[in-house]
């Protein structure tokens, strides 16, 4: 918003009163729940393990790209010199993707690796900090010279000051000359050992990372590239250009004369969808971590990722929020713990916990299936019930491991089918399995119809791929599945040993079909029956048995969420709470806050009806409710009179002065109107000089 077009200009600072309050976890735990400390301890243990796994996955995913970048930065200048280019700057065009919230972590990790293994002279620049060439140089030198005070300089500073005069490339040249002498001198060699190449150790390059190249001003970027090119004979500069879309963005920003000064090489960061798939496979589908997302919440987080931000960091933050919400508000969440903590947690079971566990629907269904003798013992003996709970929690890891293995088997069989009836990515199949029994879905039926038409070589390759996922398992059930699949592979490879299935002669029925008079539906049914009685080839027999076996193991081990015992403890599926906190509705929240300030302020004097206005309300709330009564154009003078009449209605002496509000009321009114303009409810208009235009209509 242009300040010149604002209704008013002003700055209203308020100093904080009192000491700064330090947030503690104990202040936010439910006081009525006696298990809150234990739940918080379990949450910390689980989240630390999850966070460690996430860091490992991130480093492994970007390791190949980072290694290539480090080699390019260390060898960039020698490569350019071999090509005979003197004024070309080595530039790495790093295609990062549109998931901009994830870029900060990626570039920070890259900068750390560059400092440790290539050169200590690394600077990271962002477009928001580089509004001019001077600001860019100040940020650059502040990082390379380790002088933070240089970063505070801006265009309004006096250029004649000594500090401001330091913001030039000449200063960087002097610093680099002294730095290179210290590096080459054996007496002043750094105590910290760095894994550098021989050339980099003698002449380490100066690496400049531009995180969001597309957001930089074209004029600033052009001047900077030309300046760097002029200093290449004295500074071994290397640029790392972070690009969200494609390399053509650089050519759109820079003219040909400037872009020709860059010797660019393209580097592609792994897409965020690949990172998300890896995260779901290693975090949500594994048996390492007991906490899982329910079908509704998982689908919501997946939709938010695919349709809104494409940010894995936002997905991880949402996952962490779901975990905190689960461990904070579920009174039995302490049982959602790692295997090594199960015995310790079960020992601390109280009578209330026992009653809560016995009332869980999944536990009730499991107990009802027990023999009569065991059923009475479990319900009447508390120690027996504790042993049952401990056994169920320990079995959950095995159930989850088998479920994941069968899920991967089913995905390997169906992911290459036409039309992808069970999805192309494993996350789609995982979402279906969480929500319902997969064998009862239409997609499963369609997938196995297509598998029934698969050729021999293709089916053999698919089954071989399935067995490769189960070779390293120690689970006896999965070993048995792997053995049976291997037998099917052997049978497919030796079909000549299979016997042809004998079928009765259907020639008589075919003759009857010719003579009978029937309708179309009856004819279709009889033709289908004749097709089933047709002689089957050895391959068709083996294929049918294989698909029947896969259907059997899928229905046995691949269970939906509600079929898992203790799923109420292990899965979080409160869709309403997650959507309320993560799917923000700013317009509704602003309307509620301005119309009913008592809802947020917890103030009884501000509690009025929907159409009521009280003088105790904040000024912006009064102005907002008055503007709801107006049409498309609002007369500022009439608005001021109504505002003043409400604020002076309680003071009988000031009623006569309502026609001419004092300066304090005018200032308060102008401030309230400016806040409404900032929120986007009104704007100045040229149709009438003393009017403003309303931008919203009706309620929310």
Q: Which of 338, 336, 385 is nearest to 363 (CA)?
A: 385
**What confidence score (pLDDT) does residue 197 get?**
36
Distance from first CA to last CA of the chain, Å, rounded? 24
**How crowded is residue 47: how many other Cβ atoms within 10 Å of its Cβ?**
17
- Summarised one tens digit per residue, pLDDT across range 247-268 is 999 999 999 999 999 989 999 9
The pair of three-digit structure tokens given for residue 433, joined into one six-digit string: 């399995």
The helix/strand/coil state of 65 is helix
Structure confidence at residue 86 (pLDDT): 62
What is the rounded CA–CA span in Å between residue 614 and residue 650?
10
Strand order in the sheet with 633-635: 633-635, 691-694, 682-684
State the pTM of this model: 0.80
* pLDDT of 589: 84
pLDDT at 639: 92
pLDDT in tens, 266-290: 999 999 999 999 999 999 999 899 9
d(CA 484, CA 476) in angstroms, rounded, equals 12
Whether the per-residue pLDDT at 513 is higher than 60: the answer is no
Six-digit token string for 511: 């003759």
- The domain segmentation of the chain, as residue ranges, is 60-270, 275-468+556-572, 586-694
Nearest to 73 by CA among 193, 189, 203: 203
Lowest model confidence (mean pLDDT) among 28-32, 64-68, 228-232, 409-413: 28-32
Separation CA 452–CA 455 (nearest Å):
9
pLDDT greater than 50 at residue 503: no
> Could you tell me the two tokens for 406?
């069968």
- Overall average pLDDT of the 10-19 stretch: 58
User: Strands 122-125 and 89-95: what pairing?
Assistant: unpaired
Q: What span, in angstroms and rounded, lies between the C-alpha atoms of 524 and 586?
A: 58
More confident residue, 658 or 651: 651
- For 360, which DSSP code? S
Answer yes or no: are the C-beta atoms of 569 and 294 closer than 8 Å: no
Predicted pLDDT at 193: 38
Residue written as token pair 């047709």:
534
CB 320 within 8 A of CB 289: no
Q: Which fold has domain 60-270?
A: Rossmann fold (3.40.50)
% of the chain residues with pLDDT over 90 = 46
- The per-residue pLDDT for range 364-408, each reduced to its tens digit, is 999 998 888 888 888 888 899 999 999 999 999 999 999 999 999
Per-residue model confidence (pLDDT) at position 72? 92
What whole-number distance in Å separates Cα of residue 271 and Cα of residue 279?
A: 13
Residue 552 has pLDDT above 60, yes or no: yes
Per-residue pLDDT at 566 exceeds 80:
yes
Higher per-residue confidence, 396 vs 149: 396
List own/partner pairs for 183-189 with CB under 8 A and 24 or more apart.
none
Both tokens assigned to 355? 């009653």
Task: Tell me which of 113-117, 203-207, 406-410 is least confident.
Answer: 203-207
In whole angstroms, give the CA distance from residue 401 to residue 464: 20
- Helix axis angle for 636-647 and 663-679, nearest 10°, is 120
Rounded Cα distance between 339 and 395, Å, is 9
Helix axes 619-627, 636-647, angle to 10 degrees: 130
> Are the C-beta atoms of residues 361 and 367 closer than 8 Å to each other?
no
Quick check: 58 pLDDT over 80? yes
Q: Please classify residue 342 by burial: count the beta carbons closer than 10 Å to its beta carbon, then call 0-12 exposed, 13-18 middle and 19+ buried.
A: buried
DSSP H helices, 474-537, are 476-493, 507-515, 520-532
Predicted pLDDT at 509? 47
| Secondary element (H or E) of residue 268 | strand 262-268
Supply the pLDDT for residue 192. 40
């Amino acid at each position: 918003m242009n300040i010149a077009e604002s209704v008013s200009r002003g700055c209203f600072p308020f100093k904080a009163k009192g000491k700064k309050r330090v947030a503690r976890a104990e202040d936010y735990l439910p006081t009525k729940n006696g298990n809150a400390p234990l739940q918080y301890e379990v949450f910390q243990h689980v989240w630390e393990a999850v966070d460690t796994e996430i860091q490992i996955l991130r480093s492994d995913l970007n390791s190949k790209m980072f290694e290539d970048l480090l080699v390019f930065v260390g060898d960039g200048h020698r490569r350019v010199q071999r090509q005979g280019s003197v004024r070309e700057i080595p530039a790495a065009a790093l295609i990062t993707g549109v998931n901009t919230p994830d870029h900060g972590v990626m570039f920070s990790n890259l900068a750390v690796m560059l400092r440790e293994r290539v050169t200590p002279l690394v600077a990271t620049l962002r477009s928001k900090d580089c509004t001019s060439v001077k600001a860019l140089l100040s940020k650059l030198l502040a990082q390379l010279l380790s002088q933070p005070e240089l970063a505070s300089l801006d265009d309004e500073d006096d250029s004649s000051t000594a500090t401001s005069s330091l913001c030039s490339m000449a200063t960087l040249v002097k610093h680099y000359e002294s730095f290179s002498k210290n590096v080459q001198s054996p007496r002043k060699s750094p105590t910290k050992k760095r894994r550098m190449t021989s050339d980099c150790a003698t002449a380490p390059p100066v690496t400049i990372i531009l995180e969001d190249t597309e957001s930089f001003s074209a004029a600033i970027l052009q001047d900077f590239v030309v300046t760097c090119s002029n200093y290449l004979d004295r500074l071994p500069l290397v640029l790392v250009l972070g690009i969200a879309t494609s390399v053509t963005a650089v050519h759109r920003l820079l003219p040909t004369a400037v872009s020709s000064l860059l010797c660019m090489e393209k580097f592609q960061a792994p897409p965020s969808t690949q990172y998300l798939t890896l995260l779901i496979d290693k975090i949500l589908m594994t048996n390492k971590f007991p906490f899982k997302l329910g079908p509704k919440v998982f689908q919501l987080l997946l939709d938010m990722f695919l349709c809104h931000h494409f940010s894995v960091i936002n997905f991880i933050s949402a996952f962490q929020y779901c975990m905190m919400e689960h461990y904070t508000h579920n009174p039995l969440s302490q049982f959602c713990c790692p295997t090594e903590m199960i015995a310790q947690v079960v020992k601390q079971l109280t009578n209330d916990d026992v009653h809560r566990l016995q009332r869980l629907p999944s536990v009730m269904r499991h107990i009802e299936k027990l023999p009569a003798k065991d059923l009475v013992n479990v319900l009447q003996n508390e120690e027996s019930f504790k042993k049952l709970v401990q056994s169920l929690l320990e079995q959950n890891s095995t159930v989850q491991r088998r479920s994941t293995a069968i899920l991967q088997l089913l995905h390997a069989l169906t992911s290459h089918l036409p039309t992808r009836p069970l999805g192309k990515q494993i996350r789609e199949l995982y979402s279906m399995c969480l929500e319902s029994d997969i064998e009862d879905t239409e997609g499963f039926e369609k997938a196995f119809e297509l598998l029934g038409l698969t050729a021999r070589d293709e089916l053999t390759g698919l089954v071989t791929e399935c067995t490769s996922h189960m070779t390293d398992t120690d689970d006896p059930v999965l070993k048995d599945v792997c053995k049976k699949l291997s037998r099917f592979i052997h049978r497919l490879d030796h079909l000549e040993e299979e016997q042809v299935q004998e079928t009765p002669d259907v020639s008589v029925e075919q003759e009857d079909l010719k003579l009978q008079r029937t309708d179309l539906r009856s004819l279709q049914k009889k033709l289908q029956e004749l097709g089933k009685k047709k002689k089957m080839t050895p391959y068709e027999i083996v294929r049918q048995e294989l698909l029947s076996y896969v259907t059997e193991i899928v229905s046995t081990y691949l269970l939906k969420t509600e079929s898992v015992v203790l799923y109420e403890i292990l899965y979080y599926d409160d869709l309403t709470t997650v959507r309320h906190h993560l799917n923000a509705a700013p317009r509704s929240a602003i309307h509620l806050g301005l119309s009913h300030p008592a809802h947020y302020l917890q103030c009884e004097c501000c509690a009025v009806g929907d159409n009521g206005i009280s003088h105790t309300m904040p000024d912006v709330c009064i102005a907002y409710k008055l503007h709801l009564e107006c049409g498309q154009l609002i007369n500022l003078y009439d608005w001021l009179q109504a505002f003043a009449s409400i604020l002076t209605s309680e003071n009988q002496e000031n009623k006569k002065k309502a026609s001419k509000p004092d300066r304090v009321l005018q200032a308060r009114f102008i401030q309230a109107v400016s806040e409404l303009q900032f929120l986007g409810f009104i704007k100045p208009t040229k149709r009438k000089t003393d009017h403003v235009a309303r931008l919203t209509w009706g309620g929310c």
